[in-house]
Structure 1
Amino acid sequence: MEQSRREARRRQRSRSRRGGLIAGGLAVLLVGYGTADALDAVPGILTFEAPIEVQPLPQPVARAVPADAAAPLPSDAPIPQSLGSRLQPVLDQDGMTGALGVDIRDAATGEVLYAVDEAAARTPASVTKVLTAAAALGAVGADTRFTTAARLSPTEGTTGTVHLVGGGDVLLGAGASDPDAVIGHAGLASLAEQTASGLRAAGVDTVTVAADLSRYPGPSFNAGWDQVDVANGYIAPIVPLMVNSALTSDAPGSARQDDPAGAAVAAFAAALEDRGIAAATADPGAAPADSALLGTVESAPVSAVVRHLLLASDNVVSEVMGREVALALDRPGSAAEAPAAVIAALAAQQLDTGSIELADTSGLDYANRISAHDLTTILQAAATSDGDLSLLLPSLPVGGLSGTLFDRYLDEDTDDAAGRVSAKTGSLRTVSSLAGSVLTQDGRLVVFSLLSDGLAPGSAGAARQVIDEAVTVIAECGC
């Protein structure tokens, strides 16, 4: 059966080969991309040491370039039929060693095309970031920007204290602000230029710089995370002030800083020194209410930050966004409040959250639970939204092209889906999941969730291949 299935696929591929990846690239436009994806770096493959394994954390720098408006999908494209008979032989392969939840729907109508154990809540891994991104787009708003400020405590004479106030921008750059970038859109050197000018006007030439981290109260590290993950580059203490999400370098697989705010303060103090202000660093402290504003810099909009966190699967940015969702709902921006706030923000958008339980907002914690049903209904709502939520699907990685899918859908069993699948990956030691959208051969957009957990140790890669082959079956569908 397996051999005949592969032969049938190869015959199908030979009929559609002329379209190849060019057709796939056009499909990306059709599913809503309004900008081209030009990345300065691409992700690699990493594995996690026990007890947890997660997908890699690439550091792409997305830059938007002008692009023609995407043409609408044909409203009369046929809805796929008989997906069950096509998919089940693929999903029954030996590589799928754990429990599997499947929910596949027509994006336009919400019609269920195929479902298996769709109501069972499973560990989603980094697919959790879809929830956080959807909540942020709805509650924080796509156009919102985060402000980093420098404030001067009341002072007399030529010496004072400058507070670097973290406002939730953890993609700060150490240099000048770059309006075309997401990482480094706001630069500490640009803030230092404003600050030095203000200090000179106030007659101050010597300062102590302290970080104001009061935006996020409570512990900066979740109980479900392992401290070793900082050195492995998967997470950092969550504070509202960081340079490049606390990565120690731009190289893939880089470690994270264990004191991100301290590193940001040191960079800011060095920039002040370069501008003629003597600057020392101090322990964090909140800026007094009567402190004077010296300067501000603003992040890229939330829509761009969400796209970055989904492309790079950046746990730090996702955790920060969860805290910003809590603040947007008038809750404390803490680790304790963020998971519940994400669920509440989704419910406020009339999205189904009945199965969702979250212990964090990035997916590092095995205690997170979501069903394929609830996840797919969120994706389907995004596909039909005309508001900020509509930006969710176009922000996901594209098979064979970008983010954590850049090196998937490239082999002979899956390359028909390259450029047609746009989805969020999820990988832990016993979890392999994928959720997003795929364009069929007939031009019909389908949303899907394939969530597998309880995998035998060492089999996550094989399960991922099964999932990719299943998505390819949908993409190939002229049915």
Structure 2
Amino acid sequence: MKNGVWIASAVGALAVVVGVAGVGINAQLNSLNHPPAFEVAAPEEIFQPVVATAEADFTALNQQLTQAAADPRLGRFVGQVRDTATGEVIWSQNPDTPVRPASATKILTAAAALYELGWDDTIHTDVVVGQTPGTAVIRAAGDVTLSTDQLDDLAAQLTGQDIDTVLVDTSIWSEETFAPGWDPIDIDAGYIAPLEPVMIEGGRIGGSHGDLPRTHTPALDVAKALAERIGATDTGKGTAPADALVLATTESENLEQRLRRMMEESDNVMAEAIGRETAQHRGAPTDTGSSAQLTMDILKEHDFDLTGVSIVDNSGLSFDNLITPSLLDDILHAAATDETLRPLLNTLPIAGGNGTLVDRYDDLSGAGWVRAKTGTLTATSALAGTVTSDRVYTFAFVSNGSDILQARAAMDEMASVLREF
């Protein structure tokens, strides 16, 4: 069994046994200092790694999947399924046809970020001394998930400083804050916010999770929140001097943790922020179109076939994105067999367990065994991830021109066929 296949299997099994979602497993044995007479019995294993033979007859499974794919609820349907142990594509339907993928686009964004930044990448947001006495400047660095606890900590670090003005410097990113083709109504609907390189909980108003209305002034909101905490009276945008003294700093979660939240909640703001972070790290333009192009460029550098693929954002919010199911499946297969992309598997929602799949798979065998990224736009549904049975499969299903709820149900049933085989 190749590296990564065991990891995917173990996480799926653990989700069923103990109900823990999205948790990677890293076992380390540390030396203990204790009296020689003290002994600890070895714990009973909760699960066994999947062992699959190299040879298998997938004829019956192919037939079942072909029958499921003919379901009229799926509209214009394309897909691909692969066995991770052998790399064999065991079923496909128009796998090289570019289709509208919705939020399945985030699989590309995550893979490019892992290649460029690494799973342990973090973002440091500094508060520095401004050019004018009594002024502090937040040097925005791309962290769009600042919490109220982090703001409290920054304020505590500024205790004793004579500050009457808090500014925020957003110059690290492009001045373009809203991509062409996006609908401004989606800000108030909770799906996106103006893209500025520092926000409180993705710019949400009234909470930290879910599709809550988003602010129209995310960076200024951070400056105002910090000013309130330290008793400063004035806020605004400004420039942080290059060699300014750092007064306070805070660090984001690592990239794997941020990708998990992005995937579980299908958070468009986080996806676009991670795309821009990747571009900034490469020294490339950070506007939406350029950062999306860089995502494709990085995947090409790692020998993925992007024939017919075109994306104009990193979140999948645009109706102009076109991705083939073969590319989605190729990335997932690479994640199951390659250490660099392996963290991507731990970010995927678990069927019936968490995130965008928490309310799905109620009566299906795939509950707890399917891990997948969803995608939803008007007349568009996508599902791409892994299924653990006696083998581990990767799959990518995309339905265009269909009723969303009906297509979801049909794809959930189709993924469950893999679990039952």
Same fold (TM over 0.5): yes
Between the aligned partners of 1:160 and 1:224, the Cα distance in structure 2 is 42
**1:377 maps onto 2:338 in alignment:** no
The root-mean-square deviation of aligned C-alpha atoms, in Å, is 2.4
- Does the 8 A contact of 1:325 with 1:345 survive in 2? no
What number of residue pairs does the alignment pair up?
394
**1:444 maps onto 2:391 in alignment:** yes
Question: Which residue pairs with 2:51 in the alignment?
Answer: 74
Partner letter of residue 410 of structure 1? D
**Residues 69 and 303 from structure 1, CA distance in 2 versus in 1: closer, same or farther, beyond 3 angstroms?**
farther
Question: Which residue pairs with 2:92 in the alignment?
Answer: 115
- The partner residue of 2:151 within 177, 182, 188 is 188
Question: Which residue pairs with 2:201 in the alignment?
Answer: 244
Question: Which residue pairs with 2:31 in the alignment?
Answer: none
**Secondary structure, counterpart of 1:122 in structure 2:** coil
Question: Which residue pairs with 1:386 in the alignment?
Answer: 339
Question: Which residue pairs with 1:426 in the alignment?
Answer: 375
Partner letter of residue 298 of structure 2? A
Partner letter of residue 86 of structure 1? Q
- Does the 8 A contact of 2:54 with 2:85 survive in 1? no
- The partner residue of 1:262 within 220, 226, 239 is 220
- For residue 362 of structure 1, report the CA deviation from its aligned partner: 0.3
**Secondary structure, counterpart of 1:447 in structure 2:** strand
- For residue 195 of structure 1, report the CA deviation from its aligned partner: 2.4
- The partner residue of 2:167 within 190, 199, 210 is 210
**Residues 69 and 77 from structure 1, CA distance in 2 versus in 1: closer, same or farther, beyond 3 angstroms?**
farther
- Does the 8 A contact of 1:209 with 1:282 survive in 2? yes
Between the aligned partners of 1:191 and 1:169, the Cα distance in structure 2 is 14
- The partner residue of 2:177 within 178, 199, 220 is 220
**Secondary structure, counterpart of 1:223 in structure 2:** coil
Unaligned runs of 5+ in 1: 1-25, 40-61, 176-186, 200-204, 274-278
Question: Which residue pairs with 1:10 in the alignment?
Answer: none
Question: Which residue pairs with 1:463 in the alignment?
Answer: 407
Between the aligned partners of 2:219 and 2:46, the Cα distance in structure 1 is 41
Between the aligned partners of 1:79 and 1:404, the Cα distance in structure 2 is 33
**1:299 maps onto 2:243 in alignment:** no
- For residue 38 of structure 1, report the CA deviation from its aligned partner: 5.8
Partner letter of residue 193 of structure 1? A
Question: Which residue pairs with 2:139 in the alignment?
Answer: 165
**Residues 336 and 106 from structure 1, CA distance in 2 versus in 1: closer, same or farther, beyond 3 angstroms?**
same
Question: Which residue pairs with 1:151 in the alignment?
Answer: 128
Partner letter of residue 229 of structure 2? A
Between the aligned partners of 1:65 and 1:439, the Cα distance in structure 2 is 16
Between the aligned partners of 1:167 and 1:320, the Cα distance in structure 2 is 10
- Does the 8 A contact of 1:77 with 1:444 survive in 2? no
Question: Which residue pairs with 1:21 in the alignment?
Answer: none
Residues 196-241 of structure 1, C-alpha deviations (whole Å, 9 max, x = no match): 34x2xxxxx2321111101111210011110100110000001110
**Residues 334 and 101 from structure 1, CA distance in 2 versus in 1: closer, same or farther, beyond 3 angstroms?**
same
**Secondary structure, counterpart of 1:104 in structure 2:** strand
Unaligned runs of 5+ in 2: 1-7, 28-44
Partner letter of residue 394 of structure 1? N
Partner letter of residue 169 of structure 1? D
**Residues 352 and 281 from structure 1, CA distance in 2 versus in 1: closer, same or farther, beyond 3 angstroms?**
farther
- Does the 8 A contact of 1:93 with 1:466 survive in 2? yes
Alignment TM-score, normalising by the size of structure 1: 0.78
- For residue 114 of structure 1, report the CA deviation from its aligned partner: 0.5
Where in structure 2 are the equivalents of 1:116-131 lying within 5 Å?
Answer: 116-131=93-108
Identity among equivalent pairs (%): 34
